[in-house]
Chain A
Amino acid sequence: MMPDLGKYADTVLSSYAVSLLLIGGLIWWSLRAARKARADLDDVEGRRK
């Protein structure tokens, strides 16, 4: 299944790895911030009632 990358295996795989890692990190960070902001807002709004 794995295509033969020849002598460029390191090159190709490392660029895929780093890119996916960066994108994954960005998504994770955004989701976490979103959840936290939501929780904080719910917290404050809950107190008002």
Chain B
Amino acid sequence: MKALLLRDLKLAFRAGGGFGLGIAFFLIVVILVPFSVGPESGLLTKIAPGVLWLGALLACLLSLDRILALDWEDGTLDLVATSPLPLEGVVSVKALAHWITTGVPLVVAAPVFGVLLNLPPQGFVWLVASLALGTPALSVIGTFGAALTVGIKRGGLLLSLLILPLYVPTLIFGAELARRGAEGQDVTTPLLMLAGITFGVIALLPFASALVLRMNLR
């Protein structure tokens, strides 16, 4: 399992695009937003948490089909499935690798981008906290979507369509947490809900992902 994780990470770093793509996309979104809505700092402050969350989510979405598609094409997935490793563990590791290669860089980069969008100082802690707490959920849900569409050629668009409604609760609570943090309001409810979603999907969704992967491998 550890070997699988290391292998996935190595591949992601070596292939170049896989690692940098998400963060580059995040940067593009953040840079383009002021051009489209205007440079007024009050407005930017107001929408910064939402924009940062949206950018992170889209960057995450962009890299989802890489989670399983490559392994599917070259047959690695068949090998892994016949190995004694439980498939639930495999999909969890895949999600973890995706989170490390996309989620963590996003979390690290978010404060820098927050400066660009004029995020108020007290918002940074909660922005990072909300992203750190929310992006694992995005990775795990995304792995489920990737497992669903793995057998479909050029399933990228379909994957986005399937994942879009599944991301809604995470986005709502994550962005709400960041926004309340930035405005200095009480953060308890969104914090608890976001944590609940994240730990809930980490605990349960790998079973669904492994189930659909088995159906696809049949």
Chains A, B in direct contact (C-beta < 8 Å): no
Q: Which B positions have Cβ atoms within 8 angstroms of A?
A: none
